């Protein structure tokens, strides 16, 4: 697995030392015109998911950006080998061939303004790249995270997950509080080894046999997809809504590796807010809709935790000639 970026992308971090491609994956962020404080927070977040990261300054339209310090780095948890960036306004015809024939990223993140306010020159290039992204999603070759979407031209709209009108295509926001569907979140956790770690760490969410739990994500603006904007709500696992129940804040697609998280770029919020992002992203990239052996291990672990299994003895018989 090559870590060398092309000159069509900008690298902001990469792992020092040898890479295990089964455990460490490559991330590409396709950015729009996000404000600096938003985009800095996004880069800090994902640099924190890179194992033993080396940081780089990078250039965007002749402007040199400083390195982005990882937010809460944790090598024992890290699941990325690098983070690369491309600004949608810098897309060239060469990018189409790269996306179609040489795309080796495992995880793609689309921030708030990706897909919006694109120039006439870039629009046909971006449209073609979106068609390729659709194919990569359908074939389960990539996992995708949407950090909201600001208009009917946003990437969630272009890819057919929310309406493509200016009135309904806007992925709305909510503030600070979300209503977690504890039953739905618990069901997802029970099928994932790494989400069982999240459940253990935040056990208070699951201890009182409540179907819903209102939680505070600490003065942060949060994603809130209006139900009327969602193309087909039945295609999503709805894990959390806004406090009033009118907007969807945490969604995982049932048949594709696609997700919205409450956090969409600023600020990092509290520890629960951060853990929802990092655990769900790792789950989406490494486990979700992968082979059944991980589900088997998770169920085995759950049974063990619930004392449903006694000691397992493995006997090896040596055949003699």
In this structure, what token pair is assigned to residue 260?
């919205």
For residue 233, the 8-state DSSP code is: G
Q: Indicate whether 314 pLDDT > 50.
A: no
Tell me what the pLDDT averaged over the chain comes to: 88
What is the spatial distance between Cα 145 and Cα 159, in angstroms, rounded to a whole number?
12
Q: In sequence order, which residues have a C-beta less than 8 Å from that of residue 171 and are 6 or more positions away?
A: 146, 148, 149, 150, 154, 156, 162, 223, 224, 225, 229, 260
For the entire predicted model, the pTM comes to 0.88
Q: Which domains does the chain have, with CATH numbers?
A: 10-289 (3.40.50.880)
CA atoms of 163 and 153, how far apart (whole Å): 10
Give the pLDDT band of residue 19 (cuts 50, 70, 90). confident
Separation CA 321–CA 301 (nearest Å): 39
Distances (CA, A) of 302 to 197, 200, 202, 299: 11, 12, 16, 5
Residue 318 pLDDT:
43
Mention every residue, 6+ apart, whose C-beta is less than 8 A from residue 152: 163, 164, 165, 166, 167, 168, 169, 170
Render 169-206 in DSSP notation, one character per residue. Answer: S-BEEEEEEEEEEHHHHHHHHTT-HHHHHHHHHTGGGT
CB 226 within 8 A of CB 169: no
Helix (H, G, I), strand (E, B) or coil at 296: helix
pLDDT digits (tens, 9 = 90+) for 222-234: 999 999 889 999 9
Residue pLDDT, tens place only, 38-71: 999 999 999 999 999 999 998 877 778 889 999 9
CA distances from 118 to 31, 32, 91, 97, 307 (A): 11, 8, 10, 20, 57
Q: Which tens digits make up the pLDDT trace of 72-129? A: 999 999 999 999 999 999 999 999 999 999 999 999 999 999 999 999 999 999 999 9
| Cis-peptide into 267, omega within 30 deg | yes
pLDDT digit string (tens) for 132-188? 999 999 999 999 999 998 877 899 999 999 987 666 567 888 888 999 999 999 999
């Amino acid at each position: 697995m090559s870590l060398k970026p092309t000159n069509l992308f900008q690298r902001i971090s990469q792992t020092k030392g040898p890479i295990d491609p089964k455990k460490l994956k490559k991330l590409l962020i396709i950015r729009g015109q996000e404000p600096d404080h938003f985009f800095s927070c996004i880069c800090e977040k994902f640099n924190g998911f890179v194992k033993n990261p080396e940081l780089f300054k990078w250039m965007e339209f002749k402007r040199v950006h400083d390195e982005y310090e990882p937010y809460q780095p944790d090598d024992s948890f890290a699941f990325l080998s690098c983070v690369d960036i491309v600004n949608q306004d810098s897309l060239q015809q060469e990018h189409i061939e790269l996306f179609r024939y040489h795309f080796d990223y495992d995880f793609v993140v689309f921030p708030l303004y990706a897909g919006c306010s694109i120039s006439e020159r870039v629009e046909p290039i971006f449209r073609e790249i979106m068609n390729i992204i659709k194919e990569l999603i359908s074939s389960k070759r990539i996992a995708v995270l949407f950090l909201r979407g600001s208009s009917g031209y946003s990437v969630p709209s272009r890819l057919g997950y929310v309406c493509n009108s200016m009135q309904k295509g806007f992925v709305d926001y909510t503030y600070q509080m979300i209503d977690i569907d504890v039953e739905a979140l618990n069901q997802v956790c029970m099928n994932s080894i790494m989400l069982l770690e999240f459940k253990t760490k935040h056990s208070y969410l699951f201890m009182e046999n409540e179907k819903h739990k209102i939680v505070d994500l600490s003065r942060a603006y949060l994603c809130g997809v209006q139900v009327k904007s969602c193309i087909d709500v039945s295609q999503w696992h709805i894990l959390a809504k806004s406090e009033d129940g009118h907007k969807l804040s945490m969604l995982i697609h049932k048949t594709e590796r696609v997700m919205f998280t409450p956090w969409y770029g600023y600020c990092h919020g509290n520890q629960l807010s951060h853990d929802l992002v990092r655990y769900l992203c790792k789950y989406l990239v490494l486990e979700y809709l992968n082979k059944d052996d991980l589900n088997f291990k998770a169920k085995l672990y759950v049974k063990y935790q619930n004392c449903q299994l006694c000691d397992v003895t493995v006997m090896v018989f040596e055949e003699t000639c």
